[in-house]
């Protein structure tokens, strides 16, 4: 049976030199709901970024990124894993991204000739309340006396041409290492993190570390939230519409050949990137074409399609 995988969004664009922002408002969400990847699309487009999602249907679980509009800042525990501790996105916007980090989370830039200026970061409610009060799995930060030098650290690095940079940006989501306990804090408001020093990026990686660790690794819930990712780029997205009738790829997963079908008669670039942002295949096609990708190693890739009218992205699995 032929399996067809369609792209998430059509982005009609105008070409200007301006700052673009991935604010996730293009993704349709009812109030107090979330997108956890159960649709099988493998991730989310906003602005000039693709946020991969790995959803496990057997366990109804996910890693990587989810998109949320939930507002619960009071309920502790795993059942509230999708909420920002501020109860909204930046400037009280509806949508924002939540990351559950298993090893690392990757965020791919789809316009790779300009640096990312920065993004806003906040704590997830589950993680915030766990650090503030403790729970069955994690300690209360500061301990019984408040003197324990606890911390929850977000480290951001960049890939360029498939190489992970040694440079990094560190942002403390919580810091109790001060001699004066009154200076201890857990972030509860959206805070801008300047990433301009990383330079031009193909993708960003996010890792979490904590002072609270046990037999199975970090005890602190491995969640944080992101909104309003800013990049200087020449593409300004102005509209988003479904693309089921414009592009499709099959099969997926794939072994050797990828069938690309398009209803557009315009020359279209089909580019395939590794999860670290390295370009591993590129072809310009019009209409339908069978693409030979047998040279690619097994793994997960991002297919990015661009012509004068659209750009779109989709995960592709090579077996």
> Between vectors from CA 185 to CA 84 and to CA 195, what angle results, nearest 5°?
65
Q: What is the CATH number of the domain that holds 312?
A: 2.60.40.3080
**Any bridge partners for residue 191, and if so which?**
121
Tens-binned pLDDT, residue by residue, of the chain (319 aa): 333 333 443 443 333 445 689 999 999 999 999 999 998 888 998 988 899 999 999 999 999 999 999 999 999 999 999 999 999 999 999 999 999 999 999 998 876 567 899 999 999 999 999 999 999 999 999 999 999 999 999 999 998 877 888 999 999 999 999 999 999 999 999 999 999 999 888 899 999 999 999 999 999 999 999 999 998 755 444 344 444 446 778 888 888 999 988 777 788 888 888 877 777 888 888 878 899 999 998 888 888 887 776 667 778 888 8
Contact between 231 and 247 (Cβ < 8 Å): no
Instruction: Indicate the residue among 189, 216, 237 that finishes a domain.
Output: 237
Contact between residue 63 and residue 102 where contact means Cβ atoms under 8 Å apart: yes
Do 132 and 275 lie in a common domain? no
User: Cα angle vertex 165, ends 160, 170, to 5°?
Assistant: 120
* 86 token code pair: 């501020």
Largest CA distance in the chain: 69
Whether this model's pTM surpasses 0.75: yes
Same domain (yes/no): 21, 154: yes
Task: Verify that 225 and 92 share a domain, yes or no.
Answer: yes
């Amino acid at each position: 049976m032929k399996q067809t995988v369609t792209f998430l969004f059509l982005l009609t664009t105008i070409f200007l030199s301006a700052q673009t922002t991935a604010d996730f408002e293009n993704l349709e969400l009812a109030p107090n709901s979330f997108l956890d990847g159960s649709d099988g699309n493998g991730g989310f487009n906003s602005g000039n970024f693709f946020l991969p999602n790995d959803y496990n249907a057997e366990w109804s679980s996910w890693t990587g990124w989810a998109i949320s509009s939930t507002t619960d800042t009071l309920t502790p525990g795993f059942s509230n894993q999708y909420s920002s501790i501020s109860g909204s996105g930046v400037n009280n916007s509806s949508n924002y991204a939540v990351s559950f980090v298993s090893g690392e989370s990757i965020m791919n830039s789809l316009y790779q000739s300009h640096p990312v200026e920065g993004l806003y970061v906040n704590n997830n409610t589950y993680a915030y309340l766990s650090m503030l009060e403790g729970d069955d799995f994690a300690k209360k930060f500061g301990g019984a006396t408040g003197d324990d030098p606890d911390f929850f650290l977000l480290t951001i690095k960049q890939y360029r041409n498939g190489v992970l940079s040694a440079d990094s940006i560190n942002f403390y989501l919580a810091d109790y290492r001060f001699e004066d306990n009154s200076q201890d804090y857990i972030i509860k408001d959206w805070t801008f993190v300047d990433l301009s020093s990383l330079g031009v990026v193909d993708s960003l990686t996010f890792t979490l570390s904590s002072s609270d660790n046990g037999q199975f690794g970090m005890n602190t819930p491995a969640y944080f939230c992101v909104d309003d990712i800013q990049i200087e780029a020449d593409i300004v997205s102005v509209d988003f519409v479904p693309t089921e009738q414009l592009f499709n790829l099959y099969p997926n997963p794939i072994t050797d050949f990828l069938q690309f079908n398009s209803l557009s008669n315009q020359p279209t670039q089909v580019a395939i990137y590794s999860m670290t942002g390295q370009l591993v295949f590129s072809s310009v096609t019009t209409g339908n074409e069978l693409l030979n990708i047998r040279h690619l190693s097994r793994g997960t890739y991002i297919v990015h399609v661009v012509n004068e009218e659209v750009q779109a992205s989709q995960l592709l699995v090579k077996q």
